Structure 1
Amino acid sequence: MPRSDRRSDNRKTENKINKKGIIAGVILGVLLLGAGGYTVQSQTYKERFLPKTFIGDLDVSQLSVKEANEKLVQAQSDLSFVIEADGKEWKSFKKTELGLESNFETELEALQKKQNPWKWGVQYVAGPTNLKLAPSAFNEETLNEQTAKLETELVAWNKERTQTKNATLERKESGFEIVPEVQGDNVDTKKVIEDLQNQLLNGASNIELTDFIVKPSVKSDDPKLTQELESINKIAQVEATYVINGNSFQIPSEKINEWIIYQDGKVSLNRELVHAYVTQLGVDYNTSTNPSTFVSTKRGEVSVPAGSLSWTIATETETDELIASILAGESFSRSPIAQGSANSGSPLFGNTYIEIDLINQHMWYYKDGQLLLDTPVVTGKPSTPTPAGVFYAWNKALDETLRGTNDDGSKYAEPVDYWVPIDWTGVGIHDSDWQPAYGGELWKTVGSHGCINTPPNVMKQLYGMIDVGVPVLVF
């Protein structure tokens, strides 16, 4: 090859090399320039959110923490919470009025720091990033204060609505019956307030009051209610019989029905009404305050006042026992619990007794209806009369000395062979050998200090015939 041709080829090769170098240099320069710009931009995103960054529906792209906070605060201030009733707005609040906190800088700063500023370029290509804040915070004091006011309004509103009622048992003329439940449209205000607070904290914007309508918890077909009705009817139909002074009578079923109370699924009796009934029994039957009718030997039917042989119904105890007996649901017969010297169920006296007629100044002793002894006596003088009453011989004693005070204030001590006390004041039946005679009008002049003076020989017989506890009727 000629030398001139070789020189020409070398120059072409050198020119190609020079062009490639220039292009490479330009590319390198561009790359260096781009890298420098990317680096500068990356430094910017150290303090700002990356492109396509959202918090909820709010775009915070390229915003600083402060700018993002301001945007969020503005958005929060516009947030409302609506309470609806039957699909219509009943009440509306700004969430900030309910205590919504409105400063997110601390949390935003933490979220921004987690972003990689070197990825800002990639972020343009990638999809949007949605960051999440913690659930909205509310000032507890403000929230509680505002919801308390709301609850007061809600209660007033609720009163105007139909109230839901459980099926229950009610007293009717014919007895207790099941009254069906009522499905109202009132709401559970406590649950409304509780759910409202939860919904606020979870970011919700409304609640519907009709979601909280109260449902009846007891319906007419409830087996428990049916069982309770059976229990009440069983109690109402109890045959409650009292045996007092040997006579029996039944408490009217209408009366028992009046006493029954059904409340909160429980059956009880009105203690006040039962107590009043037992109290009236005492008024009518207590032998400690009521006289007894007695068919006397000479005067026919007489009324004998209450005396030491008597009883008084223990009202409080008997009330409780009567209630327990009725609630047992079984028919029963009982005599009242009483205090005293006699049994409330049995006749106060039968056909064995001592009879002392103050007007006729005479004494009789009957045993099992048979007259075993009778005698004239001398009873208390006008200044110390023998008390009338239904008494009993609560003791028998031999060779006693009776002591007391005479009308003039002097003391006396009178020995007797036979002594039968009949009351708690010192009155009794005894022999009296100092009396010249018995019966007639002698009691007015030589009457006793209240005892029944009896001829000594008769008193000896009587003492041997009677037992302690024998009734003594003085009238």
Structure 2
Amino acid sequence: HFHFDEGLEKVKQGLQGSQPEPLRVYYRPMTYTVQRPETLVSLGVRIGMPYWKLIEADPKLAARNPYVGETITLPAKDAMLTLPVVMNKRIVISIGEQHLWVYQEGELIQDHVISTGMANSPTMPGIFQVQSHFENAYASNWDLWMPHFLGIYEAVPGFENGIHGLPLLSNGVRLWGSVLGQPASYGCIILDLEAAEELYHWAEDGVVVEILR
């Protein structure tokens, strides 16, 4: 569906200018009948939503996992796109290929080998956005610094996974430089230092990040 006020403004802008104005399509929450036993986390991974977004869409799930045969409400497909979308830029990540591609105006402009999350701390597939920029973010859980950090989704409320350069422990040890190309992180997407800095300055907040399985 369209947001009426936003659509009307885009039509006015289009009539006044020489270029067509893009109009965003929005999705509504959906109902889903649970087909098999699963947890909120496994269901979230399957549909590309953090578990807490499932609870937000259907509050009864805050206290339990869904039952087989139960009809629940799922978040809208674009529930993680909370900022205005940057229309001419896109980041695509493949967990299976351990690769990241950067597109501008539909053209491939960057191509990087990456590391995503390990099996016990996986990267979430789904459609997200660049939400934040931190030139050197700190992860207190692991006592490491994450250079040129682009936050893209909250794995749990208040804990953001993102894209960043090879992390640095407080003791000066640089992690994972020898394992790019295979899962190694705690959920973030890891690039070499030069690529991370380049992407950090290219991708403003609102750029869509598509993470494929």
Structure 1: which amino acid aligns with 2:149?
W
Tell me the residue number matched to 1:430: 164
Distance 2:179 2:209 in 1: 19
Is 1:382 matched with 2:128?
Answer: no
Q: Matches of residues 104-183 of structure 1 in structure 2 within 5 Å?
A: none
> Are the counterparts in 1 of residues 80 and 127 from structure 2 also a CA contact under 8 Å?
no
What TM-score does the superposition give when structure 2 sets the normalisation length?
A: 0.56
Is 1:399 matched with 2:141?
Answer: no
Structure 2: which amino acid aligns with 1:352?
K
Distance 2:102 2:30 in 1: 24
Distance 2:82 2:31 in 1: 14
State the aligned residue count.
141
Distance 2:80 2:122 in 1: 25
Q: SS of 1:396's equivalent? A: strand
The offset of 1:288, in angstroms, is 8.2
Distance 1:361 1:377 in 2: 5
Which one of the candidate residues 426, 431, 456 is aligned to 2:193?
456
Distance 1:460 1:428 in 2: 14
Residue 424 to residue 438, structure 1, CA distance change in 2 (3 Å): same
The offset of 1:439, in angstroms, is 4.5
Distance 2:86 2:127 in 1: 9
Deviations 1:190-241 (A, max 9, x none): xxxxxxxxxxxxxxxxxxxxxxxxxxxxxxxxxxxxxxxxxxxxxxxxxxxx
- Please give the root-mean-square deviation of Cα atoms over the aligned residues, in Å: 3.4
The offset of 1:436, in angstroms, is 2.8
Which one of the candidate residues 24, 28, 37 is aligned to 1:286?
28
> Are the counterparts in 2 of residues 307 and 391 from structure 1 also a CA contact under 8 Å?
no
Residue 362 to residue 243, structure 1, CA distance change in 2 (3 Å): same
> Are the counterparts in 2 of residues 365 and 372 from structure 1 also a CA contact under 8 Å?
yes
Q: SS of 1:463's equivalent? A: helix
Tell me the residue number matched to 2:18: none
Tell me the residue number matched to 2:101: 364
Tell me the residue number matched to 2:149: 419
Distance 1:474 1:454 in 2: 15
Residue 465 to residue 339, structure 1, CA distance change in 2 (3 Å): closer
Distance 1:373 1:365 in 2: 5
Distance 1:307 1:396 in 2: 22
Structure 1: which amino acid aligns with 2:97?
N
Distance 2:200 2:108 in 1: 15
Q: Matches of residues 221-236 of structure 1 in structure 2 within 5 Å?
A: none
> Are the counterparts in 2 of residues 305 and 390 from structure 1 also a CA contact under 8 Å?
no
Residue 340 to residue 419, structure 1, CA distance change in 2 (3 Å): closer
The offset of 1:339, in angstroms, is 8.0
> Are the counterparts in 1 of residues 86 and 208 from structure 2 also a CA contact under 8 Å?
yes
The offset of 1:453, in angstroms, is 1.1
The offset of 1:373, in angstroms, is 1.1
The offset of 1:305, in angstroms, is 3.9
Deviations 1:90-129 (A, max 9, x none): xxxxxxxxxxxxxxxxxxxxxxxxxxxxxxxxxxxxxxxx
Please identify which structure carries the higher helix content: 1
Please identify which structure carries the higher strand content: 2
Structure 2: which amino acid aligns with 1:376?
V
The offset of 1:416, in angstroms, is 2.2
Greater RCO (CA < 8 Å, at least 6 residues apart): 2
> Are the counterparts in 2 of residues 289 and 306 from structure 1 also a CA contact under 8 Å?
no
| Identity rate, percent | 23
Task: List runs of 5+ in structure 1 lacking aligned partners.
Answer: 1-241, 245-281, 291-303, 315-337, 405-411
Tell me the residue number matched to 1:232: none
Larger Rg: 1
Distance 1:340 1:450 in 2: 17
